[in-house]
Amino acid sequence: MSSLDLTSSDVPAIVELHSAIETPENVVLTYRLAGPALRLWAYVIDTVIRGIVLFVAAIVAEISEMAIEGVPMGLWLVLLFLMEWGYFAIFEGFFRGKTIGKHAMSIRVIQEAGYPISFWSALMRNFLRAADMIPLYGIGFISAFTSGKFRRLGDLAAGTVVIEERKVQLPREPIILEKIQPLSRTDIGTYVPPHKTLTLIEEFLQRRFVVTHQRGHELAARLAAVLAKKLNFQGEANFVEEYPMAFLARVYVTFHRTMNNDADEIHDHHPDQRQQAVAGEAMFTSP
């Protein structure tokens, strides 16, 4: 929340989960980095797959040993080598940065500059697994948490990052808050909240069911308090503290027309505010 002062030194460092790049079209793209947990799961899936393939191949080799001595065993050992040194590199190099496990977790390896991973980079980042693995990926973890962008040594040398690929979805149209009454003109000063703040409220209202009511209340309270002060809100005492979400919704309804640069039409309503607020707050308790 940009409206809050977070410059005090007791705020813990924020882990940057995004990595921004500029494309040849001069557009800045942000990538959401895949965290260690997702990558670990992908690795577990890949390891199970490699294990199963080797196990099945071992049975097949065992059976065919009777027919041609030595050859199946030799091929199995070559397969073992490929699973250890080639599996990741081949998948990432030829399937645009995805192994089966990574695909399942919808994460992908890309070059830091945003391009698809090149063959040599895929080889590099996976050859260096041997160093990252010591002991139990300890080196990889230390590197991931100290180098920024969660890069293990292989990523650093290959210039790659692992990103999360979300499902692309158009956000829903902003909710129409017909049930919510705008704030009465007599209760507020001349302050008009900036675009940014209104957008923030809009986003918050759209996603209010993602969090529990209590958490939503907590999140809204801080912004509501700041806004009430700036607006010089003269309405009912305690309203802002008790119903911060409803208050935000009303602020939004009051000013959202300004977002579209229409003529400011701030209505003059003054029904029973308490009743309004309770009705408004009820909107946030159940989807």
Partner 1 sequence: MISKREYRRKRQADWTRFEALIHKVDNKGWKKLSGNDASQFSQLFREVCHDLSIVRTRDWGAGLTSYLNDLVTKGHNIFYKAPPTRSHDFFAFLSRGFPRIFRRNIGFFITAAAMFFLPLLITWIVVQNRPELATRILPVQQLDQMEDMYAEAEFEEFGTDRAAMGGFYVMNNVGIALRCFAMGVLLGTGTVYLLLTNGIVIGATFGYLIGKGHGENLLSFVVSHGSFELTAIAVAGGAGLMLGEAIVHPGQRTRIDSLRTRGLEAVQIAGGAAVMLMVAAMIEAFWSPAPIADEIKYTAGGMLWLLVILYLTLAGRGEEVA
| Least distance in angstroms from the C-beta of 28 to partner 1 | 8
Do the beta carbons of residue 231 and residue 189 sit within 8 Å? Answer: yes
Do the beta carbons of residue 254 and residue 183 sit within 8 Å? Answer: yes
The H-assigned helical ranges of the chain are 36-64, 71-81, 87-94, 100-104, 119-127, 129-132, 138-146, 153-158, 195-206, 213-231, 239-242, 244-259, 273-283
| Least distance in angstroms from the C-beta of 277 to partner 1 | 26
Q: Which of residues 109-128 bind partner 1 (CB under 8 A)?
A: 110, 114-120, 123-124, 127-128
**Span of 8-16, 29-37, 231-239, 243-251 interacting with partner 1 by CB under 8 A:** 29-37
Residue 75 engages partner 1 in binding (rule: CB under 8 A):
yes
Rank residues 204 and 239 by Cβ distance to partner 1 and give the closer one. Answer: 204
Residue 53 engages partner 1 in binding (rule: CB under 8 A):
no
Instruction: Report the distance separating Cα 240 and Cα 221, nearest Å.
Output: 8
Residue 1 engages partner 1 in binding (rule: CB under 8 A):
no
Residue 202: name the closest of 253, 146, 262 by CA: 253
**Span of 45-53, 90-98, 184-192, 229-237 interacting with partner 1 by CB under 8 A:** 90-98
Helices (H), strands (E): how many in the chain?
13, 4
**Span of 7-15, 67-75, 219-227, 265-273 interacting with partner 1 by CB under 8 A:** 67-75
Q: How many alpha carbons fall within 13 Å on the CB side of residue 73?
A: 6
Residue 144: name the closest of 48, 44, 236, 38 by CA: 38
Amino acid identity of residue 42, one-letter, is A
Whose tokens are 């607006």? That residue is 231
Rank residues 198 and 231 by Cβ distance to partner 1 and give the closer one. Answer: 198
Q: Which of residues 127-186 bind partner 1 (CB under 8 A)?
A: 127-131, 139, 147, 153, 156-159, 165-166, 168-171, 173-174
Q: Which of 31, 137, 150, 243 binds partner 1 (CB under 8 A)?
A: 31
Q: With CB under 8 A, what is the number of residues at the site for partner 1?
A: 63
Residue 73 engages partner 1 in binding (rule: CB under 8 A):
yes
Amino acid identity of residue 232, one-letter, is N
Q: For binding to partner 1 (CB under 8 A), which residues are involved?
A: 23, 25, 27-31, 69-71, 73-78, 80-81, 84-85, 93-94, 96, 110, 114-120, 123-124, 127-131, 139, 147, 153, 156-159, 165-166, 168-171, 173-174, 195-196, 199, 202-203, 206, 259-262
